[in-house]
Each structure stands twice: as C-alpha cells, then as structure tokens.
Structure 1
C-alpha cells in the first residue's frame, strides 16, 4: 500500500511495582496494546485501549494514524472462539482486528481492511503481533511535560509528553490536541551518531538522550535530553528539524488537558442515553438532555443537534473540543432540551457511513426529531433542528420535506451554524483557496490551484463527464498542490495519490455534495430560520453562504435572521486567522455570546400550529 506523504499540520496501585503486568488486568484482553503490521511494504501502527467494565461489555479505543483514526471508539468489540474481534477505522477505511487469547502480554492477531480503496480491500488479512504495555498515565510517579512547536509559517502546535516508569522501563505518551491526538504510545528509537561528527552540542551526543519514534502518518522522531526537571530537544520529520522545550506541569496532573468549557458535574439537568430507530433499519445512539429549570406550560423547547461533514460522534468531537457537549450544556442551563447522536456506524450507532449521502443523513436527523418529540417534558410543537456546517444543510432538507423516508418531519425551527448556501463544489473551491492563503501559500500558485479546483468541480457536477477528463483535472490540481507544499513524488506515489483522489471524488457522498444546490431546500423552509456564521470562517465563507441562504429563504416566503459573529471561525471560536490549524490551539470550544444568541433565539421562537404541510412548495 503506497500512501503519499503529508507534512504535520497532526491506575496503577502500588502493587504494580511488585506484580507482573498481566496479573493486574481484570480481563485477559484489558489494557493498552500496540503493534505494527506490514501492508505491502508500508508499516501501519495500531494501538488499542481495551476495557471491560463491571457490566461485562467490552469497549475499545482505536488509534491507527495512517488511516486517520485517532482515539476512535470501536464500532464493535465481540468475543469469537476464545479471541476478540475489534471493528473500527475512519470514514474512508474500515478495518477488523482479530486478537487471539494473550500469552505473557502478547497476542497473535490479524489485520484486515474491510472497506476502502479496492486495491487494499482485496489484500488478505495480514499478521499482527500486539504487545500489552502499561497505561502510562496510571503509573505511580508519572509526570506531564508541556511544550510548543513553532512550525514553518510561525504557527504554533502545543504538545504534551507524559513519562512513566514500570519495572525499570521508561514509557511515554504524546498528546497533540490540535491534531485530535490523545495518548499516542511512543516507541523507543535507536540513537544514531550525529550527521556532522564535529558539530558541538549535537543532541545525539548527550549521554542521557532519549529517542522516541512517533508512529504518525508521516513518521517522526522526538529526541530529548533532561534539562532540570524537564526536557529539551528536537522534533524531526522529513526535512524538518524543529527545536522544542518541555516544561514540567506545575500541578503534575498527567491527565490530558481539559478544555475550560467542558462541562463538569454536578449538572443542573438530566442526561438520558437513548436509541433512535432510523428508517434504514439501523439504530442511532444518542443523549437526551432535559433541563432542571421550570418548564413552560407545554414543556421545554427542544432541539436536535446535527453534526457536520465527516463521521463524528454525538459531541462533534474534534481536536480535543466537544462543541455539541458544550452547546447542549449551555442550552440546558437556559431551559432548552436537546438530543445529539453518534453518526451512523460510529460509537453507539449502527449503519453504514461510507456509502451514505446527505439525503441519508437527512433521514437520520428526521428520525432523531421524531424521537425528540416523544421525550417526556418536551413541547413537541417547539422541537427544532440545529446543524453545524453540512448539518445546517441537513436541517434545511428535513424542514423542506426532502428527507426521502420521512418527508413529514416538520420541525418548529431551523438553526444553521456555519451552514452552506451554495453547492459543495463552490464551498470546497472557496475554502481551499482561503485556507492555503491563510497558511502562507504562494499567492500566484494558490490562484492557479483555485482555477484548477473549479475545473475539477465543474467536471464532477456534470454526471456525463468521462472519467478520463475527471482524472486529468485531478492530476492537474494535485500537481499544483504538491508544488505549493514543496513536495516531490515519484510516478508510483503520484499514481497512488491520484487514485486516492479519484476514489474520494467518486464516493456517493462527494458527488451528491458537489451537485446539490442548497437553495433548493432553503426555498422550501417555511419555519423560522436563524443562520449564523463567523467572519473568519475559512471553510464556509460568510459572504458566500449567508446571502445565498437569506435570498433563498425569502424567495420562498420564509422568515430568516442572519447573524455574523465578528472574528469567529468555523467552530464559532474567537480566532486570529480562522485557519483550521488554530482550532486545537484555541482553548475556547464555542464562544459564549454565540451560544447565548442561539439559545435566546430558540426561546423567542413561538410554538408552531399543530398542523403539517407548512413547507413552501
């Protein structure tokens, strides 16, 4: 499997010192496991954190950096013939790992790619040996050290290093919140002589140097040496050698950093786990939040929260942030109930994500709305939809009666948070240009790339475009993108990159996203609409999308309020540039002013008549 390179933008008790690791596990499979599997010459790192709680239901958190899976909850963990089967992956690749019963903290396993690019799905299962290691954060005396990488272009990337010792062996974890990376187990690397033997102070020459391998998408090394009670050294990846200094955490907490808006108990509201029966036969796992405030005469107003593009959990978790968890907390404190759910095929939800389109997601959202209307204490005539990014479009489609299986869903209102008003092709062309410019890309090359991107989108919009024309447009675009990034690939790598791009552009979701005009839905929304966006949103540009939403709603005779939040990005965070690489660096998950505006607007929106057919035809 030839995968093109990409640059990094990416309890124990005291008895533990006396007892073998394996005897500390309540279940044969419990623990942190890692290994590397060879897939046609490419080493793929696999990390599994397996737990078996008191109820006996096993769970697994899976990290496979090469396929874009970082701390992903496994879709399924089941016992099988004395072993264990873990099904997981990313939105583009699904894998199945079959573990045999462990012997002395090792398990013979197989790694099978179930869905993804055809050339790798056809490969037979590959052997994988997994080794159990301690959960570093739980080791007695474990310490946390925080540092910041200054990347080319002067952007900053916070990194946390957690070190611990078990039976005389040092273990390390790495957190990179801005990349959504938490608890990556690092591998010990060998110390090589300095490239320049005459170089004074080369870190490789230090007698106490540590070399850690970072098994991320493009493998990197972290070379550190002790400095006082912390560490300093170099981060190396490809041609980049970047200095870094770590400072020991003053509070010595080894847990991953918590975002300041993350809700903490006790909560002044009730949270109830629930299941949503979707029209396709699958089940969506969700969380219903019921306020503790006094309800209105008919119950609480309520809202379904709909995630944006890409497979996401119910909290819309990204880069250490949980926007929907934070928003649900704020709404509950204002007296508004909410329902949020895992996307199909993720977490507690079943169903197939890879082949789903925005229309399928509209079916899921409509089913969630029907479930919300049945919740005790909720005013069924004040139940609406709030969607982020693509979720805003999904909300409009449900309100317009365009959810194929549930056209009579009838929400009381729609809130679009950075939702789209123009087709996906226009959104993607615009965002790629703005993001590259914000990251310091060469302006002339970016202009050329944008023109090439428009040509590719035009080719895909027309269903009759021959595949060879789409491939040619793809190759032209990727060539300019590589030039902007200063990367050179051989022909085999270019072919692999091209095939991956073609697979992405030919997916059912992508074709539907590029071809569907959201105005078709917005014109048919006959309930109140709130459309909000940040003026630094580079992914869904406010001046491209908000006017289009407003125009379409008003053309259909609907009512819409448009709000621009100055200086906020796609996540409604206070931002500097608006570029996605800032999302994880910013501590605020969602601006308080923005959340209060959304809540106030919902509270001010009146009950709908108890009739159907309110959509504009």
Structure 2
C-alpha cells in the first residue's frame, strides 16, 4: 500500500462526493483507475448518480461513515443524509490512491414508533389515489372498530411539503406523516397518506414538463382525489373528512379547501402565507448567518438571490424567463401560478373551520412573519384556533437553541402535544 493513509483517502472520498453533489461529473470521474473509466464513463456515472439521488430530496449533511481494508484495497463509505433517505457512497481505492470501485447504497432507516402510538389500536390498508398515468400508492390507517361494527371514524388526509416526498414525509430518519397517522389513529382518527406524484413518477418529469408544472399538478390534484377516496371508505364518516397540510401543503390548503368546500376543516402546520420567493431569501439569509459571519461566496450568493427574487416580482403574464434566472431554478410558470392565488384573498371567502399550528423554532416558515399574518387574517373568526409551540422546529419536533438543517438528521418525533391538540380539535371543533 502507498504512503497514503486513511485520512488522505477520507479526504479524497469526501472530495469525490462533493464533486458529484456539485454535478462536476468529469472531475469526479478523473479519479477513476483505467478499468473504472471504461466501466463507468462520465455519462453512465451521471445517470447512476441521478437515479439514486434525485428521489432523495435535498442534502442535509455528509460525512465519512466508516473505513476498512481488504486485499490491499482501502474502502471508505461516505454517508449522504438527504431529506428523504440516506445514501452510502462506498469507494474502493487502489494502492495508487485511484478509485477502483464505486457503490451507491440506499440506507434504510428503521422507524421507532413514539411512546404515544399504540399499534394494537389500528390497522393499515394499501390504496391507490387516482388512476391512469399519475396514480400514486397510499396507506389508509383505520382505528379498530368496536364490537358492534357501527362506528364510523373522522378522517384526515395528509398533504406534503415541497419536493418529491414519500407518504411518510420522510426527512432523514424522521417520518413526520407516519407519526401523525399512527398517533391520530391511536386516538380513534383515520388518516390517509400517499406518495407524492413527483416521487412515484420521478422519471416522467422531464425538464419540459417541469417548466410547465404548477402546484396544481404537484399537490392539489392528488389531494382532492385523496379526499374523495377517503369519503368513499366504508369505515369513514364522509361528512367529517379533514385536510392536514404541512409546509407547502399547508400553504396551499386554503386553495384546496376553496376547490372542495365540503372538506370538514383545514389543519395548517407551518404554512407559509407570504410569497415563496421571500421565504427562500429569508431561509438562505438565516442559514448563512448561523456561523456568525458570512463568507464572500455566501454574500455573493445572497446578492444573486436578491436579483432573482426581484425578477420574480417583475414577472409579466406569459413572459418566458429561464429558470436559471429565478430562485432555486423554479420555473416562471410555477411562481406565476402561486402569485395569482394569494392566500389572504382565499381566506376572505373561506368559511370552513381551521386549526393553525406553528413551531417557534421554525426557520423555514417564520413564527413571526408568517404565523402573525395568519393570526391577523383570522383573529375575528370563532371557528379558527391558532397555537404556537415555542420549542418545536419545522418538523414539529422538540429541540433547543437555533434550528439547523443538521437537526433534521437526528431521529425525533412529532411532539405528543401536537397530536393531542389535533385530536381534541377534530373531536370537539
């Protein structure tokens, strides 16, 4: 073996993964030995990487997981914790320090139910939301019936945040929607959750299709289909089907309620009510400030982002603007659609009951700038209840101090107090 020690190879492994994350596939592939260059040309490397990582969402954190030595080769595994799953990038180095082997291994995280869940009190049934090309699989969690089988249950449909979320809204080791489904079912409330269209049919979303997509295709259509499916289930009280949205799902919940006024009520968890572009800028500013002082690169990124935010504000009807000129590469069509359906205007016409919940440590949706607007808009309504949980983050998980993205990579559960507030509101309100 060469003089390269494991510390050298750890650094090489992290550099390789960073280059892949930054889409510098040519630079990453240049570290391969001759055999790997033949077996894994740049085009194949890109294809394999995207197939595994695109459905996993945004990166939360990255670090060397373990090292090993076998038959003269050194193996370094780098754990990439994405929003929806963890992926282990296993690299084999030869004696010259070149990469002679590569494996991308999705890491399954075992779910540990929180103490407030009683799995003996409910059952789960697999269902399909919609039909045809965009049908998505889901799970209906149903409380066990009483002995006379005459009981019907209130139902809740869960609507995800942004990105290609699975039915559990898995973020790192956390499964927010499974916590909600199992926690509420333990209290006699049925819950329907499902995989997002952009996850189940990820390969169908070409650049052309994404450029034309709005929140209607991404979220609203399947949410409405799910509500109708739940109403038809024999165990469900069809007049008591509610909709619970988290993050983006919460932001568009009033719009869903507007389209289906028979929904019994809306539960809004961390709902952004301001323009999306403003929230994006606020998030980046917060994240860059965590280290105390911004780097020159971060300052430049923020200045560029401010220009892109201003570009969104100035969008004209039907104007063609490359997504590269807009925040996070989101299309002009998507931003225009959100801007043409302001939540405050929808709320003025919406009479259904609402429960508005917010974490006080949430840096993605502001407990002041957003939650206070919900309060202002709805304070005169006697069928609306608002509650702030000071110690909870965007995932409604308990914590201390400033919230960070790394916090999402630590296993936790939706607070029991949140489950209790929702269940009581459903039964009383």
- Same fold, TM exceeding 0.5? yes
Query: What is the match of residue 580 of structure 1?
Result: 405
| 2:158 counterpart SS class | strand
TM-score normalized with structure 2 length: 0.74
State the distance in 1 between where 2:315 and 2:109 align.
47
Q: CA deviation at 1:189?
A: 1.6
Using a 3 Å threshold, how does the CA distance of structure 1 residues 604 and 442 change in structure 2: closer, same or farther?
same
Using a 3 Å threshold, how does the CA distance of structure 1 residues 159 and 339 change in structure 2: closer, same or farther?
farther
Query: What is the match of residue 42 of structure 2?
Result: 38
> Is contact 1:162-1:174 (8 Å) kept?
no
Q: Which has the higher contact order (CA 8 A, sep 6+)?
A: 2
| 1:542 counterpart SS class | coil
| 1:385 counterpart SS class | strand
Structure 1: gaps of 5 or more residues: 9-34, 48-61, 71-89, 92-154, 194-209, 217-254, 402-407, 472-497, 606-617
> Is contact 1:260-1:587 (8 Å) kept?
no
Q: Which has the higher strand share?
A: 1
| 1:532 counterpart SS class | strand
Q: CA deviation at 1:377?
A: 1.2
State the distance in 1 between where 2:100 and 2:194 align.
38
Q: CA deviation at 1:318?
A: 1.8
Query: What is the match of residue 602 of structure 1?
Result: 426
Using a 3 Å threshold, how does the CA distance of structure 1 residues 175 and 424 change in structure 2: closer, same or farther?
same
- Bigger radius of gyration among the two: 1
State the distance in 2 between where 1:6 and 1:515 align.
37
Pairing partner for 2:393 from 537, 556, 569: 569
Q: CA deviation at 1:161?
A: 3.5
Q: What pairs up with 1:229-244 in 2 under 5 angstroms?
A: none
Query: What is the match of residue 274 of structure 2?
Result: 422
Q: CA deviation at 1:383?
A: 0.6
State the distance in 1 between where 2:298 and 2:252 align.
31
Instruction: Tell me whether 1:346 sits opposite 2:199 in the alignment.
Output: yes
Query: What is the match of residue 190 of structure 1?
Result: 94
State the distance in 1 between where 2:413 and 2:129 align.
27
| 2:42 counterpart SS class | strand
TM-score normalized with structure 1 length: 0.54
Q: What pairs up with 1:266-415 in 2 under 5 angstroms?
A: 267-277=120-130, 282-292=134-144, 294=146, 299-347=152-200, 354=210, 355-360=212-217, 361-401=219-259, 408-415=260-267
State the distance in 2 between where 1:164 and 1:314 align.
39
Using a 3 Å threshold, how does the CA distance of structure 1 residues 187 and 328 change in structure 2: closer, same or farther?
same
Using a 3 Å threshold, how does the CA distance of structure 1 residues 516 and 424 change in structure 2: closer, same or farther?
farther
> Is contact 1:284-1:344 (8 Å) kept?
yes
* Count of aligned residue pairs for this structure pair: 386
Deviations 1:353-394 (A, max 9, x none): 834312332222111101111112111111100000010122
State the distance in 2 between where 1:298 and 1:265 align.
19
> Is contact 1:285-1:348 (8 Å) kept?
no
Pairing partner for 1:537 from 362, 368, 375: 362
> Is contact 2:163-2:198 (8 Å) kept?
no
Q: CA deviation at 1:536?
A: 1.2
> Is contact 2:119-2:186 (8 Å) kept?
no
| 2:370 counterpart SS class | helix
State the distance in 1 between where 2:103 and 2:291 align.
25
Q: CA deviation at 1:69?
A: 4.2
Q: CA deviation at 1:462?
A: 2.8
Using a 3 Å threshold, how does the CA distance of structure 1 residues 465 and 570 change in structure 2: closer, same or farther?
same
Using a 3 Å threshold, how does the CA distance of structure 1 residues 549 and 449 change in structure 2: closer, same or farther?
farther
> Is contact 1:274-1:285 (8 Å) kept?
yes
| 1:416 counterpart SS class | strand
| 1:523 counterpart SS class | helix
State the distance in 2 between where 1:183 and 1:303 align.
32
Instruction: Tell me whether 1:506 sits opposite 2:364 in the alignment.
Output: no
Q: CA deviation at 1:311?
A: 1.5
Structure 2: gaps of 5 or more residues: 1-17, 23-38
Using a 3 Å threshold, how does the CA distance of structure 1 residues 310 and 183 change in structure 2: closer, same or farther?
closer
State the distance in 1 between where 2:303 and 2:150 align.
56
Q: What pairs up with 1:423-572 in 2 under 5 angstroms?
A: 423-442=275-294, 453-464=305-316, 499=324, 504-513=329-338, 516-554=341-379, 559-572=383-396
| 2:126 counterpart SS class | strand
State the distance in 2 between where 1:336 and 1:162 align.
47
